[in-house]
Chains A and B, each alone.
Chain A
């Protein structure tokens, strides 16, 4: 068991999994600023970076010595799997001396037989209580330690110092001016020596969180008391300006005016301009994208013409909103509860009603083999994903080959414009790999099959009172399909003018995919229909308008916030430990 192999993870052990979960949770709490994708935390000793006299066991946490232990040449050490990330701010680990003989332990850079003796290595030795800093001669530091003692090592990456603890008592600073990238390490020299590491698997004996809280308070205090200097008098003005520009940017016209009046500041943009933007934003947020485009074109002529990407984004969104039944181009056809469709998040008319939808779909596609076996809604959804909408759409046969037919017909029709369809064409048509292609096919074939599609719509309409494709109106659906074609045309045109655009293609495919499902609101791409999705496009449009008026496209407040966040991330990369206690979200409530 002492051999290396015993160190492999016992994945089946539930106790271990529990411990693993506890470890993750504790590490997350201790080092919230650490991005483990970039800089993983040490979690065990490394079976690779060790001397042969070292044996590892118990998930690579227990270290024992198996050398001769006659002199210093027989000393051996092992280090942790990863160096200590700077973003920890303050890093801590503990070692319990299970069996006496441990000479030292430390944090060090290269793998040296005795921690503390080689360059850039630092150690605290148990036999004499001395500390060793990159040399063979020690300094008196702390007490000696022996079997049963728990020795801890805390690396402060903010001031680059280190202190050790013994049984939960801090022994005071051992080293200053530490270099970066230190590894937790232990070294042993006597046969029979055994030590257990705790990288967070268990609660620490020393109250490290208390120590961290002191530094957090220190750094927050430092930030709060940071000298503002010469521009002290202007500080208030800067803050007021930040608030004011934020309000103006988002078009909170009345609030901005009130704020400006109260603080006696000026608003750069004139009232009508703000109101215009506010109106356009409201339209977008209400899902009335078509009207928003119209208004933009009218109020800011040339804007969208100069921003074809933005226009395309808007049109795509418009298509999505048509599916949603909120865009004015389809709403005008709709007779059902137009008000409710106007509503922004949380409105009951928009809330998904899976339970009501699915059983009805069952009856609609009764002969679909996949439908019958589905008992729980998620399963049903999955089955619909495989044979999306199309199967129910086909009036004759509801098996998968029918969808393949569409796929084929699509490829013949639209090879020029759809690179994907070409791909799928080359593949065996029996299996439909990309739903997207199918949907494009559907669109192209729509004139022929219009009747079928409408049938679907009618079915949906009957079954689902709350939400229907295009508001459940046939004319609207036709308009939507026509619009989809226009959109595709626009894409092709853009491709010709500016070359291929992967983002556009993805956007278009996502939007069209909605039609592939009998219940678009409850499908893998259904998220697009969420009113929350309007916010991005809304702010993009707003920024573009502001930019065209020679105003900043981002409010200074957001700029400052972004800059601060970026700074903190940069700090972690350049190994400034204080970043872990200067997190931007600590200041946002």
Chain B
């Protein structure tokens, strides 16, 4: 039988089984139905609040018998209801009890019982189902296996306040995936549950509200429907706003705020709507206050972080509401020194929530500081903030580490912070440590942050280079995750920007040409862009260009040809043409282009391209080739004239884009124009060209 427990446990429990427990079970087998009923009622009274008794009865096999009686059509409705009540009572015990009940297939039996017309019986079944389903050990999928169950539950919503409470509670606990949301939505969950929001029973209102919060979470379809729903001629959003009033129970305020947050994030409510700015946001900030329970503060902070993540205006408002930034600093003070001395129970409670509180605070800080420089400054100026992040990076809890690195990443978008607090607190050290061994999600965040720390103006760049980061980044570029590949190559690109020959050589060596060209054919266009950027940074300043081209010239030219021929975005092609222009700037490297007619034809093609950006990049390349102060410029000019470049340049002088005219002037009348002016012009352009390659990771 499925409900039997493991043997050793069974023996230990059995040793405590008293004769009375056995007596209760025996009475269930009495031939007289009246006596069976009395037996069930007595059992009900015996198990209430008695976990030991519950375990005993389960071990003695009461469950299958009760289920049998419950399913038997010949049982009186009173007996069946009493059986369901006893089962519900057994489910109230430990998690082990629930497991045993589920193993005995209690769920299908009870769901079957819901088809009976007797309301008392239905309510008893629902109560038991509710208790089983809200337990974390019950697989929620069991609710969806039979497709007729959900519509039947919807139809039972009208039966009584109890059915309403239990069913909505089941829904809110069993809606865990987008598929679940869709199933419930398709069966009219919104229309059926919306009227319950104004039910006279607080429990029903609360469970209905919870239902909406899980239904709307990251679900555009549900959220868009919700905004148009009317409850008693009032818009649903207004009902939620009323539920957020400050004299309402905290649980209700918080859940209503969640509903509006999810609707807003799904795009159903604008972020500048007064119900978000003046109601939801302040409500969530209140939930973060010291007066709230630790659980509420965690949920409040997480929801608030989620609400304002994409909107800088909300971030600005939140940053000045009720001293939120300072209020969050309090999240790090658990367990407090006071609680340790005074109250052991409180200490235990604090310890349990300490991690959750910290990660929630980090998340909220990350969200607050993601766009606005002033807010970032405010955050880093909060007491011990940088120290807290640093220690958060090495905490045992992955959740805290992830949140801490997210927060660090958000703050790393500030040039000022990179130059000051980041350097002062040597945040790169724990960050590097974190990169050695961490789950992928942490790695993505940490490597993103590293990209920013490797920016040219960051004082942390030097020590990071010395710590052997190149190998690490190169290994990231081989990761299966596109996000990690992007971050790896991005960091390398930033590192190569205006770097000395030694660093560049090290990058090329560590990455290997094979890997470099593999990245150039990466399916992710972001990876491709950043790899091209890396190439471009490697190919800057004349000696470097010649050196790199002398060793890898052939492969690079091949790769460039391939990309120019391939189906790529304008940005990719532009970046590639810029690389060609850089090559054209080299002394010896020039020849690689001049001798490659195929490439020259391509450049010609792009000079006549409809996209100005591409025209500009191609012209830039030609201008480098015919630079008349260098050796052999005359020969190159002759060759290009032969190929018909001059005609194109003449045409371009009549073009509308002034930038382009300038450039073609340079190319056609080089001897007429002041060489100094031209040099400035080209060097300026080159500068801007390379600058686009170092980006702050956003």
Q: Once the chains bind, are B321 and A211 in contact (CB under 8 Å)? A: no
| Distance from A207 Cβ to chain B, minimum over Cβ atoms (Å) | 7
Q: Once the chains bind, are B247 and A142 in contact (CB under 8 Å)? A: no
* A168 surroundings in chain B (CB, below 8 A): 277-278
* A169 surroundings in chain B (CB, below 8 A): 277-278, 281-282, 317, 320-321
Contact of B247 among A143, A173, A217 (CB under 8 A): A217
Given the known A-B contacts A143-B320, A170-B322, A172-B322, are A214 and B247 also in contact in the complex, defined by CB atoms under 8 Å? yes
| Distance from B645 Cβ to chain A, minimum over Cβ atoms (Å) | 57
- Bound complex: CA of A163 vs CA of B247, how far in Å? 19
Given the known A-B contacts A168-B278, A169-B278, A169-B317, are A210 and B322 also in contact in the complex, defined by CB atoms under 8 Å? no
27 A-B pairs whose Cβ atoms sit less than 8 Å apart in the complex = A143-B320, A166-B320, A168-B277, A168-B278, A169-B277, A169-B278, A169-B281, A169-B317, A169-B321, A170-B282, A170-B321, A170-B322, A171-B320, A171-B321, A171-B323, A172-B321, A172-B322, A172-B323, A173-B323, A207-B279, A210-B245, A210-B246, A211-B246, A213-B247, A214-B246, A214-B247, A217-B246
Given the known A-B contacts A169-B282, A170-B282, are A213 and B245 also in contact in the complex, defined by CB atoms under 8 Å? yes
Residues of A contacting B: mostly: mixed
- Bound complex: CA of A168 vs CA of B317, how far in Å? 10
| Distance from B454 Cβ to chain A, minimum over Cβ atoms (Å) | 34
Q: Once the chains bind, are A142 and B320 in contact (CB under 8 Å)? A: yes
Interface residues of B (CB under 8 A from A): 245-247, 277-279, 281-282, 317, 320-324, 327
Contact with B along A197-233 (1 / 0, CB 8 A): 0000000000100110110110000000000000000
| Distance from B493 Cβ to chain A, minimum over Cβ atoms (Å) | 38
- Bound complex: CA of A142 vs CA of B323, how far in Å? 8
* B323 surroundings in chain A (CB, below 8 A): 171-173
Interface residues of A (CB under 8 A from B): 142-143, 163, 166, 168-173, 207, 210-211, 213-214, 216-217
* B321 surroundings in chain A (CB, below 8 A): 169-172
* A170 surroundings in chain B (CB, below 8 A): 282, 321-322
**A-B interface pairs (CB < 8 A), number:** 39
* B281 surroundings in chain A (CB, below 8 A): 169
Contact of A207 among B247, B278, B320, B324 (CB under 8 A): B278
What is the chain B residue whose CB lies nearest that of A214?
B246
* B246 surroundings in chain A (CB, below 8 A): 210-211, 213-214, 217
| Distance from A170 Cβ to chain B, minimum over Cβ atoms (Å) | 5
| Distance from A89 Cβ to chain B, minimum over Cβ atoms (Å) | 14
| Distance from A159 Cβ to chain B, minimum over Cβ atoms (Å) | 12
| Distance from B327 Cβ to chain A, minimum over Cβ atoms (Å) | 8
* A214 surroundings in chain B (CB, below 8 A): 246-247
- Bound complex: CA of A305 vs CA of B390, how far in Å? 92
What is the chain B residue whose CB lies nearest that of A129?
B320
Residue of B247, B321, B322 with most partner-chain A CB within 10 A: B247
* B317 surroundings in chain A (CB, below 8 A): 169
What is the chain B residue whose CB lies nearest that of A141?
B323
* B320 surroundings in chain A (CB, below 8 A): 142-143, 166, 169, 171
* A143 surroundings in chain B (CB, below 8 A): 320
| Distance from B40 Cβ to chain A, minimum over Cβ atoms (Å) | 36
| Distance from A472 Cβ to chain B, minimum over Cβ atoms (Å) | 56
* A172 surroundings in chain B (CB, below 8 A): 321-324, 327
- Bound complex: CA of A378 vs CA of B283, how far in Å? 57
| Distance from A510 Cβ to chain B, minimum over Cβ atoms (Å) | 48
| Distance from B519 Cβ to chain A, minimum over Cβ atoms (Å) | 46
* B282 surroundings in chain A (CB, below 8 A): 169-170
- Bound complex: CA of A171 vs CA of B319, how far in Å? 9
* B327 surroundings in chain A (CB, below 8 A): 172
* B322 surroundings in chain A (CB, below 8 A): 163, 170-172
- Bound complex: CA of A142 vs CA of B320, how far in Å? 6
- Bound complex: CA of A171 vs CA of B281, how far in Å? 13
- Bound complex: CA of A63 vs CA of B45, how far in Å? 75
List the 8 closest pairs (A to B, CB-CB), nearest first: A214-B246, A172-B323, A217-B247, A213-B247, A172-B322, A143-B320, A168-B278, A210-B246
6 new A-B contacts at CB < 8 Å, known A168-B277, A217-B246? A166-B320, A169-B282, A210-B246, A213-B245, A213-B246, A216-B247
What is the chain B residue whose CB lies nearest that of A170?
B322
| Distance from A570 Cβ to chain B, minimum over Cβ atoms (Å) | 26
* B247 surroundings in chain A (CB, below 8 A): 213-214, 216-217
| Distance from A394 Cβ to chain B, minimum over Cβ atoms (Å) | 67
* A163 surroundings in chain B (CB, below 8 A): 322
- Bound complex: CA of A240 vs CA of B77, how far in Å? 44
